Amino acid sequence: MSSERGLDPLARPSSNEMPPAWADLRHLLVVDDEVRLRGLLKAFLSGAGFRVTTASDAAQARRLMASLTFDLLVLDLMMPGEDGLSLAAWVRGRGGPEGQTPILILTARGEPDDRIAGLSAGADDYLAKPFEPRELLLRIEAILRRASGSGRPPVTLRFGEGAFDASRGELQRHGSTVRLTGSEVNLLRILARSAHTVVERAALAGGVGSGRAADIQVARLRRKIEPDPANPRYLRTVRGRGYMLTPDG
């Protein structure tokens, strides 16, 4: 119970504790083997305006990170199988934008040596259990502010009169926002990470559920980004393999 102190799943942060407006677009991955704590964290952080996905262990987290983009990871250290230190080191070793994903370690191991080990593995911050939910929220806000001001340019891909902001998951065309489903955003992000390179159909299937679902999502995306969906220029089929995104520039 100590690690759940103050995490009322029905409670929403008060207005002066709410994160800034951009937070409702930020996607967090919470990795913890405690079922109840995962649920409480998801309820609390969702109530604070974040999109929250959870994983029970490092293996599940790796699978999720292969198909989804996260703005911040909240990792427990002590988990069955691979521990949080190893997972943090793996994230940092990925390279590219994914390897720079901010990490906050949230664990019962709060001794100085544990904190040093966590920060040395690549964590941006370290919070010991039991913790105050408001402090967790403030630390997440602070990490995301630092990340947004780090000078990394936004990842924007252009398709003629359209543009996709991969960091926000937003598609603009002719100056107007084009509505994308969650599956369409995930698929576009997967393709965007490998622009001008063939992405195997099986890899896309992992992000949207099945190969058939990937084919359907590609057809829908073409109607949203292609001037002529019947003759795609930007989202091409590579027969026998998969698909390739070829944005301008």
Q: What's 2's DSSP letter?
A: G
The reported pTM is 0.55
Residues 148-185: tens digit of each pLDDT: 765 444 468 899 888 998 777 889 998 899 998 877 88
Residue carrying structure tokens 């198909």: 67
The CA distance from 192 to 18, in Å, is 31
Sign of CA dihedral 105, 110, 114, 119: positive
- Which carries the bigger pLDDT value, residue 238 or residue 193? 238
pLDDT at position 17: 42
pLDDT at position 5: 53
3-state helix, strand, coil in the chain (%, to 5): 45, 20, 35
pLDDT at position 15: 40
Q: With cut-offs at 50, 70 and 90, classify the pLDDT of residue 14.
A: very low
| Best CA proximity match to 143, nearest among 127, 166, 164, 165 | 127
Reading the block at residue 220, the tokens are 């829908």
Buried b (16+ CB within 10 A) or exposed e, 225-242: bbeeeeebbbbeeeeeeb
pLDDT at position 105: 92
Q: With cut-offs at 50, 70 and 90, classify the pLDDT of residue 226.
A: very high
pLDDT at position 9: 44
The CA distance from 216 to 192, in Å, is 18
pLDDT at position 1: 32
The CA distance from 94 to 205, in Å, is 21
Residues 77-107: tens digit of each pLDDT: 888 888 888 898 888 887 667 778 899 998 8
Residues 195-225: tens digit of each pLDDT: 888 888 877 766 566 778 888 989 999 999 9
pLDDT at position 2: 39
Q: Do 236 and 243 meet the contact criterion of CB atoms below 8 Å apart?
A: yes
Q: With cut-offs at 50, 70 and 90, classify the pLDDT of residue 74.
A: very high
Q: What's 176's DSSP letter?
A: E
pLDDT at position 248: 87
Sign of CA dihedral 69, 135, 58, 151: positive
Residues 16-70: tens digit of each pLDDT: 444 443 333 489 999 999 999 999 999 988 888 888 999 999 999 999 988 888 9
pLDDT at position 238: 92
Angle formed by the axes of helices 211-225 and 182-193, to 10°? 90
- Which carries the bigger pLDDT value, residue 186 or residue 80? 80
Domains and CATH numbers, the chain: 2-148 (3.40.50.2300), 156-245 (1.10.10.10)
Angle formed by the axes of helices 112-120 and 84-92, to 10°? 30
Contacts of 83 (CB under 8 A, 6+ apart): 58, 77
